[in-house]
Amino acid sequence: MLRSMYAGVSGLNAHQQMMDVTGNNISNVNTIGFKSSRVTFKEMLSQTIQGASAPQANRAGTNPQQVGLGVGVGSIDSDMSSGNLQSTGKTSDVAIQGDGFFVLRDGNNQVYSRAGNLNFDENGRLYSSSTGMLVQGWMADANGDYGDFNAQNIDDITLKQEINAQETDKVKYGKNLDAGAMNSLEILEQNLELSTASGYGEELSFSLQETEEFNVWDFTLNASNSSTEFSSNGETFDDTLKGKIKLDNNGNITSFETNEGLATEVDLLTNPLVTTIVDPSGTNPDETLSLSSTDVNNIFTNSTGVNDANVDLAFEQTAKRNIAVDVFDSQGGKHTVVLPLEKTANNEWQISDSDEDFSVDGITGTASLGGDHTITFDANGNIDGGETVELTFTPAGPDMEQTVELDFSAVTQFDGSMTANFTNVNGYEDGALESFSFTETGDVVGSYSNGLTQTLAKLGLANFSNPAGLMRQEGVFQTTSNSGDPELGAAAQGGFGSLAPATLEMSNANLSQEFTNMITAQRGFQASSKLITTSDEMLQELVNLKR
């Protein structure tokens, strides 16, 4: 009976420990990254009353007779399975999806945690908000590259609080220049009602037609009277004169020629056009008016001064793309460079040093390309020449000449769209850290006030052959002789889980299972206590036999 009483005592102890573990699991149901535990029981040593006997010729063998001495705790196992993820929206939170632990530094010791509620202290060091321990990882160089991911170079993660200014030395351009872009030439007003000294006159009309040639228009000059004749350079034409007019990108006439009925063109810029007007009555001699071309705003003038005959044309340079880009000097000063690309011929565009739109900070004449720069394209719309050119200017702050390479190698020329623009500028002003975030691969990305984002570090993760063999201590895990040494590496590679930014891993304690365990522990404890009281009653009956 004493054995049954002590068996009941062992049952009380075992179920009390089960209740302790269950209570700990329930109390940590909202603890970030918590891993629940479970208790397994084992039978204690049994007292052998009679050993087993082997079978004999005339008698069967007998089994051993043993009385158990109670129950003990066989193990308290950690459940290292992942908990559910909770989105927090906080950029400093991060959770591990899969295997691995965050690596923390506690003085000179490394410890491990699944809790990803992280933050930065005033020195820019990343630490665990739950424990205050410093998070370990690998720092990136200026190009965002890392060395080897190993234990020798893992260190505290410290964010760079400021980024120094960097001078712009290259601007890349891309997208499309419209192959079909044409400048515009329109007739605003024409006054070609000519009057002679004898009082009779003629009314002429001038019209334009756009051609496929760049900056070239067909023109037609008509007389209302069929007897009127046009002549120039000894050549005589009927009452209709046709030809071509060519302009440069400033709207100046470069060629004003007629080839109507001629083997060669007649240049009306150097050979005045004579209009012979016949008196319908036949009483007066024929009279002539000479018209000469001067400029685009007044291409015809009455050379006789009898009347002010003219055609007013409006030229608009629409085959042009002004691209503004901000570049930075060595002190971080920002300067706006406006680069005018104007079409000068089919498949040819030019940037002119003397263009009034070519400016730095709105001031013309302060930058140079070393002369006019021409960009050419082949028949397929791909760049064929003039891929790069160097822009030089002297910013006021540093007061030293700065050279910027302009790269047009990615610019195309297809019909229909005018989208050419800069695609990349490699300089920036100085900036202060405003925020940071994590990526799925563990990169720590800083966002700065100058609009720059930079990869600064990578979180280190640790993995174990037997993670359940880790020992808990103040909310973190430590290695033991049965957990194995940690394997360090980066997230999402080499068997390590990926990261979920702005997310936390919740406790993996299952409340429904824990409440069931609590009932089981309670009933086991109750039964064990009943065993003690029953044994006590039996002892009491034994004492009463003396009476």
Q: Answer yes or no: do 194 and 155 share one domain.
A: no
Rounded CA separation 55/71 (Å): 32
Q: Answer yes or no: do 194 and 312 share one domain.
A: yes
pLDDT at 67: 84
- Strand order across the beta sheet in which 170-178 lies: 367-368, 388-393, 402-414, 170-178, 421-425
φ, ψ for residue 331 (rounded to 5)?
A: -100, 5
pLDDT at 291: 57
Q: Answer yes or no: do 92 and 159 share one domain.
A: yes
pLDDT at 283: 65
Return the CATH number at 373: 2.60.98.20
Q: Answer yes or no: do 199 and 251 share one domain.
A: yes
pLDDT at 305: 45
Rounded CA separation 293/157 (Å): 76
Q: Answer yes or no: do 366 and 463 share one domain.
A: no
Query: CA distances (Å), 257 to each of 69, 81, 250, 268, in order?
Result: 124, 88, 19, 6
Q: Answer yes or no: do 38 and 67 share one domain.
A: yes
The total of structural domains in the chain comes to 4
Rounded CA separation 293/252 (Å): 11
Domain boundary among the residues 293, 316, 339 is at: 316
Residues forming a β-bridge with 101: 462
Query: CA distances (Å), 405 to each of 172, 173, 387, 409, in order?
Result: 8, 11, 10, 12
pLDDT at 303: 46
Stretches in the chain below the pLDDT threshold 50? 297, 302-306
pLDDT at 296: 52
Half-sphere exposure of 535 (CA within 13 A, CB side): 15
The residue range of the domain holding 514 is: 2-80+508-544
Rounded CA separation 278/105 (Å): 108
pLDDT tens digits for range 51-79: 888 999 889 998 988 888 889 999 999 99
| Tokens linked to 196 | 């002679």
Q: Answer yes or no: do 446 and 327 share one domain.
A: no
pLDDT at 36: 96
Q: Answer yes or no: do 312 and 203 share one domain.
A: yes
Q: Answer yes or no: do 201 and 303 share one domain.
A: yes
| Tokens linked to 294 | 């001067």
Distant-in-sequence, close-in-space partners of 526: CB < 8 Å, separation ≥ 6? none
Burial (0-12, 13-18, 19+ Cβ within 10 Å), 147: exposed
Q: Torsion angle, CA of 112/114/115/117, rounded to 10 degrees? A: 90
Tell me the Cα Rg of the chain: 47
Q: Torsion angle, CA of 535/539/540/542, rounded to 10 degrees? A: 140
Q: Answer yes or no: do 223 and 288 share one domain.
A: yes
Domain boundary among the residues 271, 296, 316 is at: 316
Q: Answer yes or no: do 418 and 475 share one domain.
A: no
Residue 187, SS3 per DSSP: strand
Q: Answer yes or no: do 341 and 420 share one domain.
A: yes
pLDDT tens digits for range 423-471: 999 989 999 988 889 999 999 999 999 888 889 999 999 999 999 999 9
